């Protein structure tokens, strides 16, 4: 029997598997890996892109998505996360979960007989990284050797992207104020993926020569109590036209969205000539389809 493959962070894929997933993602009609099957999509937090891209990816693979709010099933209140995973696996070929605490997806994956896909946790957003890398590949013809400058928080989005960039042989630099950098464990994990984990606190230095300038919100879902100090700490880290102008001439701007125009990114950049945010958002669906085809397809 084929072992169950979970996708909790990008490095659950080997480098050549990530390349295969990106290639599958570019195929608009892969084999119907989910024909007659379902996928449960569990959300503890709000979502627009992730829910819709996952639901449509499941449909495109011939399957039926069932989205459910965390409160509806009562994770660890009505029933343990483990029993919810075991139950959903009775009906579904895969389970996706968006959670506050990364431990929850790990607990589900530990007992689930079907693949568990992390649809965002406090630690990781690997589906986002797949869509981002697909966008870079489309724009530049390859990911390897491209320089990605992430100006913002060491959060779920930047961590997964740094790991994915390492696996895809891209350069990655994180730029933010002291106290909001990757920690030792992050750096070790990025290095293990083949990445460099360059960390700087000067935005101009970070974006010099960058092919991709990326940012995300300063205050992630679940961190609302840290908003005052984070807003103050990141005040000098907004991506504006002047900063983007210091990147490579053909640089693109990416943001996982939702954005806060006027805070982490200037409106002129978010909706400007170099922005690829809508292509990036669409790619979430193609990447989700590619990943599910890889996880659930023929051996
Ligand atoms: N980028 C992203 O995950 O968007 P949603 O939170 O809307 O799903
Ligand atoms: N870092 C953000 C990403 C949202 C898609 C958050 O976790 O809220």
pLDDT digits (tens, 9 = 90+) for 104-137: 999 999 999 999 999 999 999 999 999 999 999 9
Residue 2 has pLDDT above 80, yes or no: no
Burial of 183 (0-12, 13-18, 19+ CB in 10 A): exposed
Long-range contacts of 257-263 (CB under 8 A, 24+ apart): 257/48, 257/49, 257/281, 258/48, 258/217, 259/217, 260/217, 260/218, 263/217, 263/218, 263/231, 263/238
Alpha helix segments (H runs only) across the chain: 15-25, 49-60, 70-73, 81-88, 102-111, 126-140, 156-167, 184-192, 203-207, 227-233, 241-244, 267-270, 277-296
Q: What's the CATH architecture for 10-125+283-295?
A: 3-Layer(aba) Sandwich (3.40)
Q: Which residues line ligand 2 (CB under 6 A)?
A: 120, 155-157, 216-217, 220-221, 256
Query: Largest Cα–Cα distance in the chain?
Result: 55
Domain residue extents for the chain: 10-125+283-295, 128-280
Return the closest-CA partner of residue 162 out of 117, 198, 108: 198
Q: In the CATH hierarchy, which top-level class contains the domain 128-280?
A: alpha beta
Q: Which ligand is nearest to the CA of 119?
A: 1
Return the closest-CA partner of residue 207 out of 242, 156, 231, 182: 242
pLDDT digits (tens, 9 = 90+) for 62-100: 999 999 999 999 999 999 999 999 999 999 999 999 999
pLDDT digits (tens, 9 = 90+) for 180-222: 999 999 999 999 999 988 999 999 999 999 999 999 999 999 9
Mean pLDDT of 18-27: 96
Can 10-125+283-295 and 128-280 be said to share one CATH topology? Answer: yes
- Ligand 2 geometric centre to CA of 292 (Å): 22
Q: Name which residue sits closest to atom 3 of ligand 1, judged by CA.
A: 50
Q: Which ligand is nearest to the CA of 287?
A: 1
Q: Which ligand is nearest to the CA of 254?
A: 1
- Ligand 1 geometric centre to CA of 276 (Å): 16
- Ligand 1 geometric centre to CA of 135 (Å): 16
Position 195 scores a pLDDT of 96
Residue 299 has pLDDT above 60, yes or no: no
Q: Which atom of ligand 1 is nearest to the CA of 45?
A: 6
What is the pLDDT confidence band of residue 30, given thresholds at 50, 70 and 90?
A: confident
Position 298 scores a pLDDT of 67
Q: What pTM did the predictor assign?
A: 0.98
Q: Which residues line ligand 1 (CB under 6 A)?
A: 47-50, 120, 128, 256-257
Which of 49, 51, 155, 214 to probe ligand 2 with, by most ligand atoms within 8 A of CB?
155
- Ligand 1 geometric centre to CA of 258 (Å): 7
Position 297 scores a pLDDT of 86
- For residue 59, the 8-state DSSP code is H
Position 69 scores a pLDDT of 97
Q: Which ligand is nearest to the CA of 157?
A: 2
């Amino acid at each position: 029997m084929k072992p169950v493959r979970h996708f909790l962070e990008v490095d659950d894929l080997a480098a050549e598997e990530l390349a295969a997933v990106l290639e599958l993602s570019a195929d608009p009609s892969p084999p119907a890996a989910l024909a007659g099957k379902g996928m449960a999509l569990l959300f503890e937090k709000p979502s627009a892109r992730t829910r819709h891209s996952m639901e449509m990816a499941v449909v495109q693979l011939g399957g039926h998505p069932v989205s459910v709010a965390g409160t509806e099933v009562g994770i660890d209140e009505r029933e343990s996360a483990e029993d919810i995973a075991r139950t959903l696996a009775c009906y579904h070929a895969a389970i996706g979960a968006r959670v506050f605490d990364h431990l929850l997806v790990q607990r589900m994956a530990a007992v689930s007989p079907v693949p568990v896909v992390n649809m965002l946790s406090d630690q990781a957003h690997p589906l986002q990284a797949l869509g981002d890398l697909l966008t870079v590949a489309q724009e530049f013809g390859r990911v390897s050797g491209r320089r990605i400058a992430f100006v913002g928080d060491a959060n779920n989005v930047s961590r997964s992207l740094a790991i994915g960039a390492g696996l895809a042989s891209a350069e990655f630099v994180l730029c933010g104020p002291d106290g909001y950098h990757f920690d030792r464990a992050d750096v070790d994990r990025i290095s293990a993926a083949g990445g460099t984990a360059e960390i700087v606190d000067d935005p101009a230095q970070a974006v010099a020569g960058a092919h991709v300038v990326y940012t995300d919100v300063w205050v992630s879902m679940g961190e609302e109590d840290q908003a005052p100090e984070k807003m103050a700490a990141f005040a000098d880290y907004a991506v504006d036209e002047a900063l983007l102008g210091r990147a490579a001439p053909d640089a693109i701007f990416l943001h996982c969205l939702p954005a806060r125009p006027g805070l982490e990114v200037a409106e002129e950049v978010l909706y400007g000539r170099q922005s690829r945010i809508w292509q990036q958002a669409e790619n979430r669906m193609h990447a989700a389809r590619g990943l599910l085809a890889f996880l659930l397809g023929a051996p």
